[in-house]
Amino acid sequence: MLAQNIVVAASVLAADFLKLGEEVAAVTAAGADWLHVDVMDNHYVPNLSFGLPVCSALARASTLPLDVHLMTERVETLIEPFAAIGAARITFHPDTTAHADRMIQAIRVTGMEVGVALNPAMPLAWIEELIAQVDLVLLMTVNPGFGGQQFIPSVLTKIAALRAQIDTTDRPVRLQVDGGINAESAQQCRQAGADTLVAGNAIFSSSDYAATIRALRSS
Ligand code: DX5
Ligand code: ZN
């Protein structure tokens, strides 16, 4: 089993957009490991969030790796632009394309890391052939599209099953969870085998970002 340090990724979607720069500085000082950006296109998910101009500004303002979560169709058109702004990783949803393998290769060739994301209703079969090629698998613990939703506990079984699959590979694939993550659900996810925690409202709606991040990290 590959022991991996716990990563806490702060999801900017829950930040105060009127003072994004300050929020990024605050969450960085508070000890977040990654800045998670949720790009939504109002096609794949029923919401619009922000796109390249905002992500580019965030990348310039931040010393944290930009963890790009694309909830969009036509991912192939976004790979080069996100590489150009210095994103660390693109995670996409394989059900947006007939050619997930090609997409992984296209992301990889830019030097960025690659993640694949599964919605709560999607079985692990979607990514079994891809695990050997990716750096991260994201198991959505809410239906994608909105922050501030309730954690879906039935995903815990899938987390445990994916943990077992990852542990049979000899590559350090991260197991990320995203949606409704707070100290309590983080602990359940950690016990099931997750090592990378995305948190939006839990961090940005708290009065002490550092204490919240510490609580998540030690969950
Ligand atoms: C949901 C997004 C999440 C969202 C999480 O579609 O992928 O990253 O920001 O927000 P919280 O932590 O508030 O559930
Ligand atoms: Zn996300």
Is the Cβ–Cβ distance between 14 and 184 less than 8 Å? no
Q: Does residue 172 have its Cβ closer than 6 Å to ligand 1?
A: no
The catalytic position among 38, 67, 135, 195 is 38
What are the helix (H) ranges across 77-208?
79-84, 100-108, 155-167, 183-192, 201-204
pLDDT value of position 1: 47
Query: Is 179 near ligand 1, meaning CB less than 6 Å away?
Result: yes
- pLDDT more than 90, % of the chain: 97
- Give residue 9 CA to ligand 1 midpoint distance, Å: 11
- The yes-or-no answer on residue 95 being catalytic is no
Q: CB of 115 closer than 6 A to ligand 1?
A: no
Question: Where does the pLDDT of residue 170 fall: very low under 50, low under 70, confident under 90, or very high at 90 and above?
Answer: confident
| CA–CA distance, 141 with 145 (Å, rounded to integer) | 12
Give the pLDDT confidence of 128-150 residue by residue, as tens digits. Answer: 999 999 999 999 999 999 999 99
- Ligand 1 pocket residue status of 180, Cβ below 6 Å: yes
11-63 pLDDT, tens digit per residue, is: 999 999 999 999 999 999 999 999 999 999 999 999 999 999 999 999 999 99
Q: Which of 89, 116, 138, 198 to mutate to test the pocket of ligand 1 (most atoms within 8 A of CB)?
A: 198
Q: Using one digit for the tens of pLDDT, what is the confidence trace for 177-193?
A: 999 999 999 999 999 99
Band of residue 2 on the pLDDT scale cut at 50, 70, 90: low
pTM over 0.75: yes
Mean pLDDT taken over the chain: 97
Share above pLDDT 70 across residues of the chain, in percent, rounded to a whole number:
99
Quote the longest CA-to-CA distance of the chain: 45
CA of 157 to the centre of ligand 1 (A): 20
How confident is the model over 5-12, as a mean pLDDT?
Answer: 98
Q: How confident is the model at residue 4 (pLDDT cuts 50, 70, 90)?
A: confident
* Burial environment of residue 31 by CB neighbours within 10 A (0 to 12, 13 to 18, 19 or more): middle
